[in-house]
Amino acid sequence: MNGNSETKLEYALRGKAWKVYWFLLKNGSPVGVREVQRALHFSSPSIAFHHLEQLRELGLVEKQGIGGHYVLVGQVKIGVLRHYVKLGKLLFPRFFFYALFSTVFYAAYLLIVVHSFTRDNLFIISFGAVVCTIFWYEAYRVWEMRPF
C-alpha cells in the first residue's frame, strides 16, 4: 500500500467507521447490521449500515449473499493499528509483549541471580525497573488509544 492510498484510508476510517472496523477486526466473524448497532450503541441500524457499506466500498469488508452479514476481508495497519498485534480474536499492543518479556526476565534475574546488593547489582536492578516501567507505560498508552 503506497502512502497516498494509506492517507485516503486513514481519512475514510475515522469516527464511527473506525469503530465499526475495529469491532469487525476484534470480532473476527460475520456480523449483521443490528449486531453492529447494538454493540456500538448506534441510535439506529441505518447508521451501522452506512458505515458497513462505507467499509465495503473501501474493499475492507464483503457482504455475504445469504443472510446479508458483513465479513472482514482486508486488514490495514493504519493509525493506532500499527501498534497492535492480533492473536485470534484478541488485539494486544505490541509493547505489551515487550513489557511482559522484560518483566519476566527482570523477575528471573531478581530471584535467581541477585544474592547481595553490590554496586553492579543495584545498577542492573534500577535499570531493569526503569525499562519495565517504560514498556508497561507505553503498552498502557497505546491501549488507551483504541477506539472503544
Q: How many CA atoms lie within 13 A of 138 on its CB side?
A: 16
**What mean pLDDT, rounded, does the chain reach?**
86
How does pLDDT run across 37-95, given as a tens digit for each residue? 999 999 999 999 999 999 988 888 899 888 789 998 877 777 777 788 878 777 889 99
d(CA 70, CA 52): 7
Whether pTM exceeds 0.75: no
**Residue 25: pLDDT over 90:** no
In order, the DSSP letters of the chain are: --HHHHHHHHHHS-THHHHHHHHHHHH-S-B-HHHHHHHHT-SSHHHHHHHHHHHHHTTSEEE-TTTT-EEE------GGGGGEEEETTEEEEHHHHHHHHHHHHHHHIIIII-SS--HHHHHHHHHHHHHHHHHHHHHHHHHHTS--
**Residue 29: pLDDT over 70:** yes
Identify the pLDDT of residue 48.
93
- Give 74 or 101, the one with higher predicted confidence: 101
Q: Where are the domains of the chain?
A: 3-72, 80-144
What's the Rg (C-alpha) of the chain?
A: 21
- Give 144 or 12, the one with higher predicted confidence: 144
Residue 26's pLDDT band, with cuts at 50, 70 and 90, is confident
Q: Give the class (CATH, top level) of 3-72.
A: mainly alpha
